[in-house]
Each structure stands twice: as C-alpha cells, then as structure tokens.
Amino acid sequence: MKKIGVLFGGVSSEHAVSCLSAASIIPNIPRNKYDLVLVGITKDGRWLRFSGDMDALANDTWDQDPSCVPCILSPDRATHGFVQMNPDGTAESIYVDAVFPVLHGKNGEDGTMQGLFMLAGIPFVGCDLLASAVCMDKTVTDMLLDYHGIRRAEWRFITKANKDKVDAFADECEKALGYPMFVKPANAGSSIGVSKARNREEFFAAVEEAFRHDAKVIAEREIVGQEIECAVLGNDEPTASVLGEIASGADFYDYDDKYINDVSELFIPARVSEEKSDEIRKIAVEAYKVLGCTGLSRVDFLLEKATGIPYLNELNTLPGFTSISMYPKLCDASGIVYPDLLSKLIELSFERTEEI
C-alpha cells in the first residue's frame, strides 16, 4: 500500500475551486492501492491536516473542522513527508510515497509547490517546477510557443512598472490587435481578471482590472470560433484525448460560467472534422513536449471560424478536477475512467522519481 499526500486549498484566487476538485478526487482514489493523508492550506497559508468529511471540503469550511491539526511538508529528505504538530505539543513525522497537489493557480500550479517537492525529494503528480512556472505565466508560455512556431493569437503585454505608458500600449494594441480584444493578467486562471474590451474606454478599465491580479497584463486579438480542449496525459510519450468543446453561455467562458451558472454546454467529442481533430491533438502533444510538461496538462485552443486555424490559448498544468470538469471527462471519453486516471497520474509520478 502506498501512502499519498493530497494537498488542497492554497493561497490562490482559485482556492475554492481547488477544494471542489479535491472533494471529487479524494473519494475516487482507489483505497485498495493507496492510503491518503489529506493536508489543506488555508487562504492565509496555514497547513492543516484534515480528516473530516468531504462536505466540509466541497463547501470550503474544512479549516473549521475539529480534526484539523498543523501539519507541514518538510524539505528534509529524511522525513520524506509531513511533520504534524500534535495538540499535546509533540511532533510526528508522516512518511508519504508521493504527493498529489490538487492546487490551482498561484502558489500551487505555478512551480512554487513543485520546487518544495523537488527539494524534499518526494515524487509528485503533474508537471515539474519549470514546466509549471512556464505554463502559469501566459507571456512566458507565449514566447516559447512563438519560438517553436506553435500558433497563438497575436498578443502584447505591459508590466505595472510601465503603467504610466498605458496610452502608448493602447495605441500599439489597437494597431496590432484591434477591437474586440481580450485583456488578462499574465498569471491567473479560472478567467479571474479576464475581460473583453470593445473600445478604448473598456480597454483601460480591463487593463486596470487585470493589474489587480498581477503585475503583468496581456492583450490578445479576439479569436472568433470554437473553444476546444484536449487532455494530454503521460511523461515521455504523452497521449492526447479526444477533443472537447465548450459552447459558452456567457459573452465568453468566464468564472461564473465555469463554476456557478453551469450554463455552458460541453460537446465531447468536439464538433470538428476528424482531420481537424488530428491536427489539434498533434499540436497539443507538441506544445506539451516543448514546454516540458509531465503527468498531465489540459491544452486549450481557439479554433477560428473564418480560417479554420487552431490557435493555442493556454496550457493548464493542474486543470479543474470537479465533477463537471473537462479533463476527467475527456479522459473518460478516451477510455480511462476516473479512478484509473487518478491511479495513472500517481504512477506517472513514480516513473519520474530518478529525476528528482
């Protein structure tokens, strides 16, 4: 029996989503193969071992549970796991074979956690420090995709240090991209801080809003067409799932649409020709490899209606895993049921152990 540490919550704007993902994952990890140690990170960054029930996790009240005790991941390789501080003042080491970080966004999906796992010498599910960090920052992802000739929507970016030059930035974006434009924080997720700007006034408001979430803001040409997603799974020989499509009920696929209203419609498989599907799946695997992903990533595309060109939008190294999430659904449609997918992800973390 292997012991797996499951981490959830986190100091991130996607904290609540992570708790939802964890509430779906935890009951589905096969218990005949794995013992679990659940450790949550509060919004203000405290680490607590949790042994309460899944309802408290799903509605994000888990940190009030009487079962919670302080429990931190030790960078000391001899511990190979957590150190729990008991109420009687004693400390206890908890060995784990691997960790499954069910964390989205900053301080979880961006390489920071992965660095800690690497330092501690503990195998972990998902991408390593570098790939996580690269995929988290849309400007860095975009530069590498441009370098490798993987097509994406034309883009420009501005940093907070240059905020006083936002007029010149608007001029440049208007010339290069045109309205409507998508404006987003370089580091975020779940559509938080993303807006569609239809004119200069909206553009300034959008930039302002995006700066509330990050010190770097990116503007992109709008790609009108279908929103397509591909689940990629594996280490050296990754495989691409059948494609999924999201027909958003809102103006675009925003936070409420993703997690609250549930008005968007999913199509699995996506409504594209077999030829187009093969083309997109090939690009997904290529992007996964050039960015150094391992374990899993959801690769998102915008397929332009007018031209039939697939533009890569982003890679999510720890995509949503809630019951309505695309990644597990795409794997399921490709023949890997949810508990098997979770086992596979854990096994992939061991495959990479020598490299840690």
Judged by the rule CB under 6 A, the positions of this chain that interact with ligand ADP are 153, 182, 184, 188-191, 194, 220-223, 227, 248, 252-253, 300, 302, 313-314
- Exposure string for 159-183, b = 16+ CB within 10 A, e = fewer: eeeeeeebeebbeebeeebeebbbb
- Within 8 A by CB and 6+ apart from 205, the residues are 195, 197
Q: Residue 323 gets which letter from DSSP? A: T
Task: For residue 155, give both structure tokens.
Answer: 């883009």
Q: CB-wise, 73 or 218, nearer to ligand ADP?
A: 218
Q: CB-wise, 63 or 314, nearer to ligand ADP?
A: 314
Q: CB-wise, 195 or 349, nearer to ligand ADP?
A: 195
Nearest distance, CB of residue 175 and ligand ADP, angstroms: 17
Q: CB-wise, 80 or 221, nearer to ligand ADP?
A: 221
Nearest distance, CB of residue 313 and ligand ADP, angstroms: 5
Q: CB-wise, 63 or 222, nearer to ligand ADP?
A: 222
Nearest distance, CB of residue 2 and ligand ADP, angstroms: 32
- Within 8 A by CB and 6+ apart from 216, the residues are 137, 139, 157, 158, 159, 160, 185, 186, 187
* Amino acid identity, position 62: W
Residue that is written with structure tokens 């799932």 in the block: 241
Q: CB-wise, 209 or 300, nearer to ligand ADP?
A: 300
- Within 8 A by CB and 6+ apart from 232, the residues are 238, 239, 240, 241, 284, 285, 288, 293, 296, 297, 298, 299
Nearest distance, CB of residue 16 and ligand ADP, angstroms: 15
Q: CB-wise, 8 or 155, nearer to ligand ADP?
A: 155
Nearest distance, CB of residue 294 and ligand ADP, angstroms: 20
Nearest distance, CB of residue 145 and ligand ADP, angstroms: 13
How far apart, in whole angstroms, are the C-alpha atoms of residue 31 and residue 100? 15
Nearest distance, CB of residue 326 and ligand ADP, angstroms: 11
Find the residue with minimal CB distance to ligand ADP: 253
Nearest distance, CB of residue 270 and ligand ADP, angstroms: 14
Q: Where are the alpha helices (DSSP H) in 61-137?
A: 112-120, 129-136
Q: CB-wise, 313 or 349, nearer to ligand ADP?
A: 313
**Reading across the β-sheet that carries 310-316, which strands appear in turn?**
265-267, 239-247, 225-234, 295-304, 310-316
Q: Give the SS3 label for residue 217.
A: strand
Taking each continuous run of H as one helix and of E as one strand, the counts in the chain are 11, 16
